[in-house]
Amino acid sequence: MSAYPLAAAAFVLFALAAAGFLTCGSLVRMLMFLELMLNAANIALVALGPETVSQAYAVMLFAIAAAEAGVGLALILALSSVFKTLEPENIKELKG
């Protein structure tokens, strides 16, 4: 088997997650899709790189993902108390 199906799998996952990111209507959802995008990138890294090195980087990416999820959710918590809504369409403070 060539490396193509692996790459394809990773890219398909990324595209699907991106599509979801752009068409969902809640901030939390967006964050979930964001994590899935990062996950897809991780897969690509593991599947296509040299063995040990790519796995090492993948471990680091796990940590980064976790940190990002934490900070993102904290942000959403803070935002929700200010805007009283979580739909990005209605958060228009920076309009103009």
Partner 1 sequence: MEGNYYPLLKWILLAPLAGFAVNGLLGRKFLGEKAGGVIGALTIFISFLFAALSFSDLLNLPVESRLLRDTLYTWISAGTFGVDAAFRFDPLSAVMTLIVTGVSFLIHVYSIGYMKGDAGYNRYFAYLNLFVFFMLTLVLADNPLVMFVGWEGVGLCSYLLIGFWYEDPEKASAGKKAFITNRVGDAGFLLGLMLLSALLAANGVFSMDFETLEKSAPLLASVRVLGIGAPTLICLLLFFGATGKSAQFPLYVWLPDAMAGPTPVSALIHAATMVTAGVYMLARLHFLYELAPRAMEVVMLTGCFTAFFAAVIALLQKDIKKVLAYSTVSQLGYMFMAAGAGAFSASVFHLATHAFFKALLFLGAGSVIHGMSGEQDMFKMGGLKKEMPFTFLLMAAGWLAIAGVPGLSGFYSKDLILEKVFEHGGSFVWGAGVLTAALTAFYTTRLFILTFLREKRSQGHAHESPLSMTLPMAVLGLLAIAGGFLLKDRLFLFLEPAAARGAEAAPEAARLMLISVGAGLAGIAAAFLLTLPASAAALKNAMPRIHSLVFHKFYVDELYGVLVIKPLKFVADKVMFQLVDAGLIDGLLVNGTAGASYAAGKALSRAQNGRLDFYALVFTIGVAAMLFWII
Partner 2 sequence: MIAAAVYLFGGLAALATLLMIFQKNQVKAAMLMLAALLSTAGLYLALSAQLLAALQIILYAGAIMTLFVVALTILPSAWRDRPSKGRFSKVLGLAAAAVILTELLKVSAILKTVPFLREFSETGTLDLARALFGRFAFQFELLSLVILASIVAAVALTSKRGAV
Residues that bind partner 2 (CB under 8 A): 1-9, 11-26, 28-29, 31-33, 35-36, 39, 42-43, 46-48, 51-53, 55-60, 62-71, 73-78, 80, 82, 84-87, 89
Nearer to partner 2, 52 or 93 (CB): 52
Taken in order 9, 50, 41, 67, the sign of the CA dihedral is positive
How far apart are CB 92 and partner 2 at their closest, in Å?
Answer: 14
Taken in order 73, 75, 76, 82, the sign of the CA dihedral is positive
Residues 20/33, Cβ–Cβ less than 8 Å: yes
Q: Is residue 92 within the footprint of partner 1 (CB under 8 A)?
A: yes
Residue 50 near which of partner 2, partner 1, none (CB within 5-8 Å, type-dependent): none
The token pair at 4 is 């193509």
Distance from first CA to last CA of the chain, Å, rounded? Answer: 53
Site residues, partner 1 (CB under 8 A): 18, 21-22, 25, 27, 30, 88-89, 91-96
